[in-house]
Each structure stands twice: as C-alpha cells, then as structure tokens.
Structure 1
Amino acid sequence: MPKDHLHPNLVKTKHLSLLSLFSSGGTLICCALPALLVSLGAGAVMASLVSSVPQIVWFSEHKLVVFTFAGMMLSISGFLQWKARSLPCPSDKELAELCNKTRVNSLRVYFFSVCVFLIGGFMAFVAPWLIS
C-alpha cells in the first residue's frame, strides 16, 4: 500500500523519528564509541579509527552542538509523536493496519533514539565528571 493514504502527520512523524535516530547516533560517535573502545583497552583501534576517519574528531570537539541539535530533534519528534497518538487511521482494514504499524514502529525508533541520546550524554558529560 502506498504511504500516500496515511495521515500526513504520521508520515512526518515517521521521518522525523528517523532523523532523530541519526542525530542521536551522532552522540554515540562523539562520546560513547571512544569511551567504549578506550575502556575495553582498544585505544589503538580508536587511534586507527581517528586516523582513517578524522571527521570523528569534529564530533568530539563540538559535542555541545551535537547534543543540542540531537536534543532539539528528539524534542520535536517527541512532540509530534504525542500529537499523532490519537490521529484517526483510515477505515480501510489494510490501511488501518499499515497506519498502526507505522505508529508503533515510529514510537520504537523514537524510544531507541532517546536511549542512544542518554547513553551518549552519560559518556560525554557524566562519566568524565565521575572519573575525575
């Protein structure tokens, strides 16, 4: 079934949930991945990764910007999830099933994104404070 028959806000919410997932994924690249690799004793792997993909350093240097952007995207996505929770689905049985699946999948992606954001935030801001 084409997505055209879904309520426009549901389609927008799904796309924004995916965008929030990718933006919160930036928090993992910035902080959680380096902390994990170093804590596992894989500092050489991290050094090799940084030499192969030097753009990773930008994420670490600008972690406040990365987290602010990810937080804003998650907030907007959460607001749209909240608004879309009671939108009507089509009366056609197949389209209604698709609508409900989209709603559930979008909510799963959103909660996964929030978890990723929280893990990255812990590694970026709380863990260094606890270690020092």
Structure 2
Amino acid sequence: MTKIKESLLNYFTLFGSLSTLLCCALPALLVSLGLGAVLAGMASNFPALIWMSEHKVKFFIFAGSMLALNGFLLWRNRNAPCPIDPKLREACISGRKASRNLYIVSVGVFVLGFLFAYVLPVLMF
C-alpha cells in the first residue's frame, strides 16, 4: 500500500472516531453535566448532530472497521524496512511513530464514544 493510501486511511480512522465522539459522547456528556440547554443550542445550530445520533450504529460500524483495517496495516508494516539514506530513514521512522500515535488517539476516542453511547446509558438506568 502506498504512503498516500496509508495516510488517507489514518485520517479516515480519525474522522470515523471523531464522528462517534460527536454523535454520541458529546451529547451524553453535556446532558450528564446538566447542560441540556447547551445541547439544544448546538442541535439548533448544527442540525447534523441529530442525524448523526440517529445513525450512530452506522458510524460505529464504519469507525470500527476503519480502526481494524488500520490496526492490521500498522501491525503488518511494523518491521518493514526503511531506506538506507539517513534522512529518509528518520522520516520513515518518525512517520511510523506518528501513525501509531494517531491510531492510539483514534482508538481512545472510539472507546470513549462507545462508552458514552452504549455502556453508560445502561449503567445509569
């Protein structure tokens, strides 16, 4: 897989994770903090928030599949050789570290969104 495709996959993974955070975790957090009026104001200014909440299963499936695919590709390429040229080697190593860190952040955001969307509502009621 080319670097551009891997980079795009990283960004799609982060986008998917952030969409789960926006659709589910943010509204639940605002309501649990007693900020329902803020949520109502956000929903009136950002009507897609309601649509995203109604389709949260699709967002979680998309984000989960992107995370799984990205995790597999990161694991598969973990020992791939880097160029011999010192500058290119450093760029390769730093790119791998950045991809891994972005993946970890994406997984954390996904888990946070999942907790707010599916786990905490069951525990609160």
Instruction: Give the TM-score normalised by structure 1.
Output: 0.90
Deviations 1:55-103 (Å, cap 9, x if unpaired)?
1111110111110000000000001101110111111000000000000
- 4+ residue runs over 4 A deviation: 8-11
Counterpart position of 1:50 = 43
**1:131 positional shift:** 1.0
Which consecutive unaligned segments of at least 5 residues does structure 2 have? none
Q: Deviations over 1:14-71 (max 9, x none)?
A: 3312210111101001111001111222111100000001011111101111100000
- 1:106 aligns with 99
Q: Given the two structures, how large is their TM-score scaled by the length of structure 2?
A: 0.95
Among 69, 77, 84, the alignment partner of 1:84 is 77
Residues in 2 aligned to 1:94 and 1:13: alpha-carbon distance in whole angstroms = 20
> Percent identity between the aligned chains?
48
Count of residue pairs the alignment pairs up: 125
Q: Distance in 2 between matches of 1:48 and 1:99?
A: 45
RMSD, matched Cα: 1.1
